[in-house]
Structure 1
Amino acid sequence: MRPGQTVHHSHGGRTDEGWHRESNAFQFDGRTVTVEWCNDGADCDGRLTRSGISHCAADRLTAGYHDTETGESFPDWQEGESSQRDYAAEAAGY
């Protein structure tokens, strides 16, 4: 990514119990990659939406989890703000 660039990625679809969608917006300021993420879906327990922001310094993009089976390395994401909305719990008065 170039500094100032934003990249969007989203995927999802039907599942055996409902549906699921994951969306990410990655931004790079030249030093840090920031991702605003949202996982949304519904199954037999109802709809649940989780969202948040995570950050990773550019020099730590391969310093996170390392999969010894595939050899892949992942970013060392640092969690920021996050939220969750459980629609079924709200309907039940929680």
Structure 2
Amino acid sequence: MVEIDPGRLAQEAAFLADRSDISEEIVRAESHVEQFRHIMRSNEPGGRKLNFLLQELHREFNTMGSKLGQLNTSHTVVNIKSELEKIREQIQNVE
């Protein structure tokens, strides 16, 4: 029988739990969406800023997908990234 060090097991469990925690990515994505909305409501040119925010959202969802790594969430992440790409195409027409 293999001996398992309880301290090491707890350390590994904490590492895995931390690695799969996407709360920071969610907070950042929400912030990016709010900034996106703010720019869209303003009368100032914001095409480059919007494009940058879309890139950041894409990165956040990539990270979430990597951390979660489950098939059902992978499909969701792919769908979200596809929608972000559609928005990016529209943003190309915004100054």
Relative to the length of structure 1, the TM-score reads: 0.20
Question: Per residue, is there more helix in 1 or in 2?
Answer: 2
User: Please, what TM-score do these two structures have when normalized by structure 2?
Assistant: 0.20
Structure with larger RCO (C-alpha < 8 A, sep 6+): 2
More strand by share: 1
Q: Which has the larger radius of gyration?
A: 2
